Amino acid sequence: MDISDKSIIVTGGASGIGAAIARQAAQAGAKVCIADLNIEQAQSIAHEIGGIAVSCDVTQETQIIAAVAVAEAAHGPIDVFVSNAGLGRGDPSHAASAPDADWMLNWNVHVMAHVWAARAVLPAMIARGSGHFVNVASAAGLLNQIGDSAYSATKHAAVSFAESLLISHGADGIGVSVVCPQYVATPLLGLGDGDAKGNLLTADDVAKAVWKGVAEGAFVILPHPDVAKYSALRGADPARWIKGMQMLRAKAMTEHGGISVGNFYKLV
């Protein structure tokens, strides 16, 4: 898809990967609406790129519907919906130790927000015979994030829902891309672009991969190419894969004294 002059909405677009996706879309000539809880930061990015901003809590379907209405009033029917909002809380202790509230928050942000986005714009896209969903998941949706069971489970569900969208509606002219990066130097890890090195990418790196993948009609977008190799190994020999992940967890415990996503990227 050529995104020039297209109407695009980006959730979680006020910072990190979302802001980079929004900036690059605007540079390509798209009309961008940034939907984010942090309305002041969203407005700042929108002013910078010549877009618009709207306050949106993606755990509330009514707010996603309202954000779509604002974007469409300004820019016309949504051509590309980028579901990017995300979070990570981690396991307090054992793999089932996170409270139900954290599990439900992960579920609503990482899965239901994608469902509600599709519910809001898919019927009109089908009627027009065109449209594209960019669902930002994670390499954890193909592999696993050690130390955050709720994150891993819901990111797997996000990948599955994206696949369902494409299977069901590809013949209707609907494109779907699911983005599965590993570690990125963003505020989610308490990092910025200056921290990126080795396998730790910048948000701009991910955004470039996203729009390249959309242009090529790719379903799975892997900003970290090694994820394809890991996913193949996992599928070919699950027992060996689990053993390797157990060893990686033990290494994290030994070298960092615990499981922290803020440090875990140093091990991969």
Q: Which of 125, 109, 112, 107 is nearest to 168 (CA)?
A: 125
Domains of the chain by start residue, with CATH = 7-224 (3.40.50.720)
Residue 174: beta bridge partners?
131
Residues 6+ apart with CB under 8 A from 103: 150
Rg (CA), the chain: 18
CA atoms within 13 A on the CB side of 173: 12
pLDDT of 185: 79
Partners of residue 8 on adjacent β-strands: 32, 80
Distance of CA 183 to the CA centre of its chain: 12
For the chain, residues with pLDDT lower than 50 are none
Annotation marks residue 183 as catalytic:
no
Neighbours of 74 (CB within 10 A): 14
Q: What's the pLDDT at 253?
A: 79
Query: Closest Cα to residue 205, out of 178, 231, 227, 184?
Result: 184
Overall pTM > 0.85: yes
Q: Which residues of 1-25 are buried (b: 16+ CB within 10 A; e: fewer)?
A: bebeebbbbbbbbbbbbbbbbbbbb
Cα 77–13–111 angle (5° rounding)?
Answer: 80
Among the listed residues 151, 183, 230, 265, the single catalytic one is 151
Dihedral sign, Cα of residue 104, residue 106, residue 109, residue 114: negative
Asked if 175 and 136 count as a contact pair (C-beta separation under 8 A), the reply is no
Tokens 């948000």: give the residue.
203
Kindly provide the b/e burial profile for residues 80-92, where b requires at least 16 CB atoms within 10 angstroms of the residue's own CB.
Answer: bbbbbbbebbbbe
Q: What 3-state DSSP class applies to 93? A: coil
Q: What are phi and psi of 59, to 5 degrees?
A: -80, 0
> What is the per-residue pLDDT for 183?
86
C-alpha of 11 from chain center: 9
Residue 126, pLDDT score = 98
